[in-house]
C-alpha cells in the first residue's frame, strides 16, 4: 500500500501527516508513506485542494485535514 | 419580513442597543462623544462581524461541500466561448476558494485542458463574488446594491476572460504545468452529513484564524473614518468632486489582503460619510481581487506578461465599475 499525504506544509497538512503516521504504527500497516510537499509534484498529481490523502492512487480526501479517527474510518480500520 | 430579518440578523439592532447601554450606563460615556461613539462602534462591530462570519461561513461551506472544484472542472470542460466564460464566473461563486488556493486550482484547470479564458473568468469571479459576501452585502446594504455588485463583478469576469482567451497567450503559462504526470487520478470520496458538518466547522476556524486581524484593522479604520478623520479631508480625497477618487481607492486596496468581512466596516463608514457608491465598490473589489499577496501567488504559475494583462484588465474593469456607479448612484 502506498499512502500519500499531499500538502504545502501548512499546519493542517502537518497534523494530518502525523496522524497518518500514528495510524500506520498503531495498526502495523505495511505501507509506504510519502509526504508530497513540492508545488510541482502536487501539480503532477492533479490535486486541487490540499491537504489531500491518496491511497494507492485513489484520492480519499481533498481540501480537509483529517485526524487519526477519520483516517481509520476512511481506511476501514 | 425582509426588514425584520435584516434588522435582527444583519444589522443586529438588539446588539446595537445592548452595547449602547453598556457604553452609556456602565462606562458612563455619551454616545454623542467621540470616544463613546468609537468605543460603541468598535465593540458592536467586532461582535456583529464575528457572529455573521461564523454563521455565514458555516452555511456557505456546507452548501459548497456539494460543489467541489473537481466537479466544476468537469462541468466547465463541456462548454466553449462566452457560454463557458459565463458558467465559469457562475461556478466561481459556488466553488470553495480563496486566493490562497488559487494556484492548485489554476494548475488543475489548465492541466485538464480548460480554455485559459474560462479559467480566468473563474479565477476573477471566485474571490470577487463569493456566496457569503453576496448574502452579507444584501443584508447590510440592501438587495439593490448587492445585485449591482454581483452583476458588475460577473460581467467583469466574463469580459476579462473572453479577452484573455482571444489574446492566445497559452505560451505565458509556467511550463511545469504541462509536464505529464500521473494520469487522471480516481476520486473516491464519499461524504456523509457528519463529514459536511465537520468540513463546515473547520472552514469557520480556518477563515477566522486568517481574517480576525483584518476584521480588527477594518473596524479600527471604520471607527477612524466615523469619528476622527475630518469629513472635509475624506471628501477631498475620496469624495465625488475629486475625479481621481476611484483610482485612489483602487491603489489603496492593492496592498491589503482582507476579505469582505474585514472590508465591511470600512465600506459602511465610508458610505455613511457620503463617499460615492462606486468609489466604495472599487475599494472592495481591489482588496479582494487585486491584492498584492494573491498576485505574488499567481506569479508562480503565469509568466509576467500574462500577469500584467490580468492586472491591467481587472484594474480597468474595476475603474469603469467605480465611475459608472458613482454616476448612476442616484438610482439607488
Q: Do B188 and A63 touch (CB under 8 A)?
A: no
Q: Do A58 and B186 touch (CB under 8 A)?
A: yes
For position A19, what pLDDT does the model report? 92
Is pLDDT of B183 > 70? no
Is pLDDT of A10 > 80? no
Which among B69, B70, B179 has CB closest to A44? B179
Q: Do B182 and A46 touch (CB under 8 A)?
A: yes
User: Which of A48, A57, A62, A69 would best serve as a mutation to test chain B binding (most B beta carbons within 10 A)?
Assistant: A48
For position B180, what pLDDT does the model report? 62
Q: Which residue has the higher pLDDT, B14 or B184?
A: B14
Per-residue pLDDT band for A23 (boundaries 50, 70, 90) equals very high
User: Which of A40, A41, A53, A63 would best serve as a mutation to test chain B binding (most B beta carbons within 10 A)?
Assistant: A63
Q: Which residues does chain B have within 8 Å of residue A50's beta carbon, measured at their own beta carbons? A: 101, 104
Which among B104, B186, B189 has CB closest to A48? B104
Q: Which residues does chain A have within 8 Å of residue B112's beta carbon, measured at their own beta carbons? A: 46
Is pLDDT of B69 > 80? no
Per-residue pLDDT band for A24 (boundaries 50, 70, 90) equals very high
Q: Which residue has the higher pLDDT, B186 or B120?
A: B120
Average pLDDT over residues B216-220: 87
Question: Among residues of chain B, what percentage have pLDDT more than 90?
Answer: 10
Is pLDDT of A22 > 90? yes
SS (H, E, C) chain B: CHHHHHHHHHCCHHHHHHHHHHHHHHCCCCCCCHHHHHHHHHHHHHHHHHHHHHHHHHHHHHHHCCCCHHHHHHHHCCCCHHHHHHHHHHHHHHCCCCHHHHHHHHHHHHHCCCCHHHHHHHHHHHHHCCHHHHHHHHHHHCHHHHHHHHHHHHHHHHHHHHHHHHHCCHHHECHHHHCCCCCCCEECCCCCHHHHHHHHHHHHHHHHHHHHHHHHHHHHHHHHHHHHCCHHHHHHHHCCCCCCHHHHHHHHHCCCCCCHHHHHHHHHHHHHCCCCHHHHHHHHHHHHHCCHHHHHHHCCCECHHHHHHHHHHHHHHHHHHHHHHHHCHHHC
Within 90-109 of B, beta carbons closer than 8 Å to A belong to 96, 101, 103-105, 107-108
Is pLDDT of B246 > 90? yes
Average pLDDT over residues B135-140: 80
Q: Do B182 and A43 touch (CB under 8 A)?
A: no
B331 Cβ under 8 Å from any chain A Cβ: no
Is pLDDT of B235 > 70? yes
Q: Do B199 and A64 touch (CB under 8 A)?
A: yes
For position B213, what pLDDT does the model report? 83
Specify the pTM. 0.78
Is pLDDT of B199 > 90? no
For position A25, what pLDDT does the model report? 92
| pLDDT single digits (tens) B36-60 | 888 888 888 888 888 888 888 888 8
Q: Which residues does chain B have within 8 Å of residue A65's beta carbon, measured at their own beta carbons? A: 202
Is pLDDT of B100 > 60? no
Per-residue pLDDT band for B182 (boundaries 50, 70, 90) equals low
User: Which of B61, B91, B188 would best serve as a mutation to test chain A binding (most A beta carbons within 10 A)?
Assistant: B188
| pLDDT single digits (tens) B164-179 | 989 888 888 887 777 6
| Residue B158 distance to chain A (closest CA, Å) | 23
For position B96, what pLDDT does the model report? 53
Question: Among residues of chain B, what percentage have pLDDT more than 70?
Answer: 93
Is pLDDT of B181 > 60? no
B17 Cβ under 8 Å from any chain A Cβ: no
Average pLDDT over residues B310-320: 91
A44 Cβ under 8 Å from any chain B Cβ: yes
Which among A43, A48, A60 has CB closest to B69? A48
Q: Which residues does chain A have within 8 Å of residue B181's beta carbon, measured at their own beta carbons? A: 43-46
A28 Cβ under 8 Å from any chain B Cβ: no
Name the most confidently modeled range: A4-13, B114-123, B186-195, B209-218: B114-123
| pLDDT single digits (tens) B8-34 | 777 788 888 888 888 888 888 887 888
Q: Do B176 and A40 touch (CB under 8 A)?
A: yes
Average pLDDT over residues A37-44: 79
| pLDDT single digits (tens) B275-302 | 998 999 899 888 888 877 778 778 878 8
Per-residue pLDDT band for B141 (boundaries 50, 70, 90) equals confident
Amino acid at each position: 500500500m502506498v499512502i500519500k499525504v499531499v500538502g504545502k506544509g501548512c499546519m493542517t497538512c502537518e497534523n494530518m501527516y502525523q496522524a497518518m503516521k500514528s495510524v500506520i504504527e498503531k495498526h502495523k500497516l505495511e505501507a509506504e508513506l510519502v509526504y508530497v510537499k513540492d508545488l510541482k509534484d502536487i501539480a503532477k498529481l492533479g490535486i486541487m485542494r490540499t491537504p489531500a490523502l491518496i491511497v494507492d492512487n485513489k484520492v480519499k480526501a481533498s481540501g480537509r485535514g483529517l485526524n487519526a479517527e477519520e483516517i481509520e474510518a476512511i481506511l476501514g480500520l | 419580513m425582509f426588514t425584520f430579518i435584516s434588522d435582527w440578523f444583519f444589522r443586529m439592532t438588539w446588539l446595537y442597543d445592548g452595547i449602547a447601554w453598556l457604553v452609556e450606563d456602565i462606562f458612563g460615556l455619551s454616545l454623542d462623544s467621540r470616544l463613546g461613539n468609537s468605543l460603541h462602534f468598535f465593540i458592536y462591530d467586532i461582535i456583529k462581524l464575528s457572529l455573521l462570519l461564523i454563521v455565514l461561513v458555516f452555511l456557505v461551506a456546507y452548501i459548497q461541500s456539494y460543489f467541489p472544484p473537481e466537479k466544476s472542472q468537469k462541468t466547465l470542460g463541456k462548454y466553449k466561448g462566452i457560454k463557458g466564460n459565463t458558467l465559469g464566473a457562475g461556478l466561481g461563486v459556488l466553488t470553495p476558494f480563496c486566493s490562497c488556493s488559487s494556484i492548485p486550482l489554476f494548475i488543475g484547470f489548465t492541466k485538464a485542458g480548460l480554455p485559459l479564458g474560462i479559467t480566468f473568468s473563474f479565477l476573477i469571479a471566485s474571490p470577487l463574488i463569493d456566496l457569503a459576501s453576496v448574502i452579507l452585502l444584501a443584508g447590510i446594504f440592501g438587495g439593490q446594491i448587492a445585485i449591482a455588485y454581483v452583476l458588475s463583478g460577473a460581467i467583469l469576469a466574463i469580459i476579462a476572460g473572453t479577452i484573455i482567451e482571444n489574446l492566445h497567450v497559452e505560451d505565458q503559462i509556467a511550463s511545469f504545468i504541462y509536464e505529464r504526470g500521473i494520469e487522471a487520478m480516481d476520486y473516491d470520496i464519499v461524504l456523509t452529513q457528519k463529514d459536511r458538518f465537520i468540513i463546515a466547522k473547520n472552514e469557520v476556524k480556518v477563515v477566522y484564524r486568517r481574517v480576525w486581524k483584518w476584521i480588527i484593522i477594518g473596524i479600527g479604520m471604520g471607527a477612524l473614518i466615523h469619528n476622527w478623520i475630518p469629513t472635509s479631508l475624506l471628501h477631498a480625497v475620496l469624495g465625488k468632486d475629486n475625479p481621481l477618487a476611484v483610482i485612489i481607492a483602487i491603489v489603496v486596496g492593492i496592498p491589503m489582503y482582507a476579505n469582505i468581512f474585514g472590508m465591511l466596516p470600512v465600506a459602511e463608514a465610508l458610505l455613511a460619510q457620503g463617499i460615492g457608491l462606486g468609489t466604495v465598490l472599487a475599494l472592495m473589489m481591489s482588496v479582494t481581487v487585486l491584492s498584492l499577496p494573491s498576485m505574488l501567488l499567481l506569479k508562480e504559475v503565469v509568466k509576467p506578461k500574462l500577469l500584467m494583462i490580468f492586472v491591467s484588465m481587472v484594474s480597468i474593469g474595476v475603474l469603469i465599475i467605480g465611475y459608472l456607479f458613482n454616476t448612476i448612484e442616484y438610482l439607488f
